[in-house]
Structures are given as C-alpha cells and as structure tokens.
Amino acid sequence: MSTTLFDAAGGTEGVSQIVEAFYRRIEADQFMRSIYPEDLEPGKAKLKLFFEQWLGGGPVYSQKFGHPRLRARHFPFVIGDRHAGLWLRYMREAWHECGVPAQVETVAFERLGPLARHMVNEGQDVPREPIGDAFMQ
C-alpha cells in the first residue's frame, strides 16, 4: 500500500465519520451502551485521536495522553467476549457505511480483531480503578 491506512481511510474526516457511525451503533445497543460512560463525547474524541495515530497519522494521541496502554485503560469496564464481538461488528459496519475501500478495511481488521479480543477482561482479577491519562486530563 503506497499510502498510510490513515490516508486510505479518508484522513481526519474519514476517521471522524467512522467513529461517529460506530458510536451511533453503540448508543442503539442497550447491552453495549451499558459498559460505556454516560458522557460519550470524551471517548469519541479519544478514539478519533487513537485511530488517527494507529492508522498512521500523527502521534497526537500519544502527545496528549501518553502511551495508549489500551488494555489497562479498559480495566474499569467489564468486557466479555460478546462485547468484543459486537465492538468488532459495529466497527466493521461503520467502516462499510463510510465507504472505506475493502482492501483497507481488510488490513485494518486483521489488526483490530486481535486488539478487540485483547480487551476482554471479564472474570479476570484486574484493577478496576481508572488509570488516568499520563499527560492531560
């Protein structure tokens, strides 16, 4: 691929559209919505910055929040296999809705699948207190 996944997914605007489409699905699913905080806006903003960086855009997420430490940041939320599966389903639907090219989606989801399953912590003895952000709140 001659461009980054970030560019191929539509850059900042494309990532924003994907995240908004994803969160519409989360809001419509009572099971999934129950593990998200009441105010979804901070999570949307962080996910947009994370995806921009993860897909090959600038390192703004890490500059603001430090190393992603995704698994540890998700410890306060009890995440089961069903949550991970639905997260992937809704994310894939969002990418489809936003018209991301199939080959770009394929490459991204080869990485997103293992990442989503890595977040599963249901039944595990993990700290449930938020770890906070390394640099900015």
* Confidence at residue 136, expressed as pLDDT on a 0 to 100 scale: 37
Predicted pLDDT of residue 79: 97
pLDDT value at position 137? 37
Give the pLDDT of residue 135.
42
Instruction: Output the CA–CA distances (angstroms, integers) from residue 83 to 80, 90, 123, in the order listed.
Output: 5, 10, 13
Domain assignment of residue 134, yes or no: no
User: Considering the domain boundaries, does residue 36 fall inside one?
Assistant: yes
Q: What is the CATH number of the domain that holds 93?
A: 1.10.490.10
Answer whether residue 133 is part of any domain. Answer: no
pLDDT tens string, the chain, 137 residues long: the values are 458 999 999 999 999 999 999 999 999 999 999 999 999 999 999 999 999 999 999 999 999 999 889 999 999 999 999 999 999 999 999 999 999 999 999 999 999 999 999 999 999 999 998 876 544 33
130 is a domain residue: no
Q: Is 71 helix (H, G, I), strand (E, B) or coil?
A: helix
Tell me whether residue 69 is in a domain. Answer: yes
Specify if 99 maps to a domain: yes
Per-residue confidence (pLDDT) for residue 133, from 0 to 100: 56
The residue range of the domain holding 73 is 7-118
Contact (Cβ atoms closer than 8 angstroms) between residue 92 and residue 132: no
Number of domains forming the structure of the chain: 1
Whether 43 is covered by a domain: the verdict is yes
Contacts 24+ apart (CB under 8 A), 44-52: 44/19, 44/20, 47/19, 47/22, 48/12, 48/15, 48/16, 48/19, 51/15, 51/18, 51/19, 52/6, 52/12, 52/15
> For residues 16 and 66, is the Cβ–Cβ distance under 8 A?
no
Domain-located, residue 135? no
Lookup: tokens for 122: 């249901």
Q: Look at residue 126 in the predicted model and tell me its pLDDT.
A: 94
